[in-house]
Structure 1
Amino acid sequence: MRLHFLDPLYARAGPFASVYVDTSRDIDDPDKAIELRRRHTRSDLIALGADPATADASADAVGTDADLPGRHGQALFATHGEVVLTEELPQPPPVDKTRYTALPDAMPLALQYAPDIPYAAVVLTRVEPKGGATAPEDLLVKVQTGRWPSSAVAPRALTSLRVPIHGWRQEAERLAAELAHLIDLGHADTLVLCGDTWARGVLVNRLPAPLRNRVATVPGDERDVESGRALLEPQLAALFRGSLSAHDRDRLESFAAQRARHLAGEGLPATVAALQRGRADALVVNRPAQGWPPIWIGADPKQVALSATDLETFGATGYEEQPADAALLYAAVATGAELIVVPRQETPLEDGIGVLLRY
């Protein structure tokens, strides 16, 4: 998973307020619950030493996703009285969490956005004709692209068109070309189709033959669409559970080959050493995540070490101890590394972390 969406965080100097909060709307009186969370966010940040302007900005941002229905959470980051990044969480945090630290506590957000699978979803439904009961049926076509699972709570625009049944073959030709183009550009690993069996078959038959194995058919119809949520959200959750994007699968295969050659790339010390040398192409992290002891960072992103003594050896000054997950992610983003999240039971890693080497 590429981490460009975190770039705005690291373009600013800290310290940072990092807030993870449950802003679900599927409870009784959600506005009252969110107002209570605003007050707790502000008081917690003040207790942690945040300046009042940053505490106020953070608290004011809690619940600004009120138009998003259902169960979800919010991650927000602020510094020097300004919110610099707000992201929706597909799953609310187990408990609300607030930090005020030199580096943003962004690893929980990154883990929620994995595996970041690009896809296109298409729903095909027969509907009553506009010309009355004697006219041929129409086909309602809904199309949406996204990256799972972040699209569940941050869906892209939904395209909807109504096509006379007799015109579907021609329209399917055009749509198949568009979907094939998305795959060619890397904007979709999977084409998720749902709805009328005949209409699905017409569309699939017009796809280039090599792309037909990218098609996944799921049950349901347009009634599964909820405003503000991803098209076919429940079906996507079931389809992609435990999966990786095609990009991450390729990276993980390279990591497996690296392991087979017994190259140093597993465990916290090896990961830190690779980041120090700018040799980390991707961090490989187990889910559920493992707790790591704090590590040390200096002024430069490559100045990351397991001890202050190690940083002194590199000539670093002004270093400080930071939570390991925040420091590792900062170094990864700053040096252009990616993040691959893998289930622990499938790929157990020493210390729950490894690194795919760049050279």
Structure 2
Amino acid sequence: MKLAFLGPLFGASGPWASVYLDTSRDTDDPDRAIDLRWRHQRDALLAQGADHATVSALAVAVGTDQALPGRHGQALFAAQGHLALVEELPEPPVRDTARLDALPDAAPLAVQHAPDIPYLAVALTCGNEWIPDESTGDRVAGEYVLIVSEAGRWPTGRVKPEHRLSHQIPIHGWRRAAPEVARELGDLAQRHRAESIVLCRARDDAWASGMLVNRWPRALRERLTVVDDDCVTGPEAAAGPTLLEEHTAGVLEGRLNAADQRQLDTFLAQRARHPGQSEGVGAAVRALQQGQARALLLDRRARLAERLWLGTEPPQIALSASDLETFGASAVQEEPAVAALLYAAVRTGAELIVLPPDRVEVTDGVGVLLRYRTVPADGPR
């Protein structure tokens, strides 16, 4: 996963105020609940020494995701009185947090972006009601086919889908309309480079979905997963965000995007030959020091107790302050390990792979894929 979306957080100096807030709207009075949560975190920032201009900049953005239904959250970052980044979170944080530190607390945001899979979700259903005839504009009584599709990147597509379209077509016109709808959906999948296509249909809608799917090229059909769900019975069900979210999650759970999967396969081969260079905080630090980290691998459950030391230049990261003297660092700072590793990864152009739970174990919950072939520090194998 590329980390360009974190760029605004590493181009300015701190101290950084980082806030993770539950802004779900599944309660009776969500605005009051959000305001109460924010006031607790605002007070925490002020107690840590945050300036009022920075706290005010955050306050303006809190709760601006009110158009999103259901459970979700916000990640907000500000420094020097300026709001730098606001992101909606597909899942609310386990607990609200507010931290003031030299580095932004960006790791929870990065983890919620993973696995960053481009997808297309399509809901298809048939029903009966008064509907507009797309060819004439008149409302007619009868059966219809409803197609709702959504393209995005999983899981952030749950809170900010990139493209959504819908068609409601009288069933007597479906055979004629299906080729054009299939072409439109195929173009959308190709444009978004969708690696997975999820089609949700009612169990008795095989005819309608077959008219659509059979017109796709093989390359698209090979990425298709069909989900039969009897609850898909009408326009409201097909158009609701919960439907697409639920079934897309079921298909993509535990996967990596194609690029990350290739890099993970390469990492596993590298680790088999040179484990000492491939896993653990020390190995990641050495690779980042040398600008040789192609990708940082992180177990999403990792809770690193260590703190690392940073200098002013991108490769200046070390296990201790004295180690940085070899880089000629004139100013050093001690930071939480995960924040420091992520900072160094962004500054040196490394990517991030968030490992699915229980799939690959790495020492300390951290691994590193090297850019170049080097003489192994752990000796020949």
Q: TM-score, normalised by structure 2?
A: 0.87
- Give the distance between the partners of 1:121 and 1:308, measured in 2 at CA: 50
Q: 1:206 aligns with which of 182, 195, 215?
A: 215
CA displacement 1:248-272 (0-9 Å, x = unmatched): 2111111111112225111111101
Question: How has the CA–CA distance of structure 1 residues 309 and 171 changed in structure 2, closer, same or farther, with 3 Å as cutoff?
Answer: farther
- Give the distance between the partners of 1:296 and 1:139, measured in 2 at CA: 60
Partners of 2:298 and 2:365 within 8 A in 1 = yes
1:328-347 equivalence runs, <5 A: 328-347=341-360
1:154 aligns with 2:151: no
Provide the residue aligned with 1:28 in structure 2: 28
Which of 125-134 and 290-299 deviates more?
A: 125-134
Residue 168 of structure 2 aligns with an amino acid whose one-letter code is: R
- Give the distance between the partners of 2:54 and 2:283, measured in 1 at CA: 36
The runs of 5 or more residues in structure 1 that have no matched partner are none
1:6 aligns with 2:15: no
- Give the distance between the partners of 1:144 and 1:171, measured in 2 at CA: 19
- Give the distance between the partners of 1:163 and 1:27, measured in 2 at CA: 36
* C-alpha displacement of 1:226: 6.5
1:244-255 equivalence runs, <5 A: 244-255=256-267
* C-alpha displacement of 1:224: 3.8
Residue 141 of structure 1 aligns with an amino acid whose one-letter code is: I
- How much identity, in percent, do the aligned residues show? 54
Provide the residue aligned with 1:324 in structure 2: 337
Question: How has the CA–CA distance of structure 1 residues 174 and 246 changed in structure 2, closer, same or farther, with 3 Å as cutoff?
Answer: farther
CA displacement 1:88-125 (0-9 Å, x = unmatched): 11111111111111111000011111111110011222
CA displacement 1:114-156 (0-9 Å, x = unmatched): 1111100112222435469987633222121011111112223
- Give the distance between the partners of 2:162 and 2:192, measured in 1 at CA: 17
- Give the distance between the partners of 1:248 and 1:292, measured in 2 at CA: 26
- Give the distance between the partners of 2:58 and 2:329, measured in 1 at CA: 32
Residue 52 of structure 1 aligns with an amino acid whose one-letter code is: H
Partners of 2:125 and 2:238 within 8 A in 1 = no
Provide the residue aligned with 1:348 in structure 2: 361
Q: 2:195 aligns with which of 189, 200, 207?
A: 189
Provide the residue aligned with 1:301 in structure 2: 314
Provide the residue aligned with 1:56 in structure 2: 56
Provide the residue aligned with 1:239 in structure 2: 251
The runs of 5 or more residues in structure 2 that have no matched partner are 373-381
Q: How big is the alpha-carbon RMSD for the aligned residues of Structure 1 and Structure 2?
A: 2.2
* C-alpha displacement of 1:186: 6.2
CA displacement 1:194-214 (0-9 Å, x = unmatched): 223212112221122243221
Residue 149 of structure 1 aligns with an amino acid whose one-letter code is: P
Provide the residue aligned with 2:378 in structure 1: none
Question: How has the CA–CA distance of structure 1 residues 115 and 25 changed in structure 2, closer, same or farther, with 3 Å as cutoff?
Answer: same
Partner-residue secondary structure (3-state), 1:232 = helix
Partners of 1:126 and 1:138 within 8 A in 2 = yes
- Give the distance between the partners of 1:145 and 1:244, measured in 2 at CA: 17
- Give the distance between the partners of 2:212 and 2:236, measured in 1 at CA: 21
- Give the distance between the partners of 1:210 and 1:50, measured in 2 at CA: 53
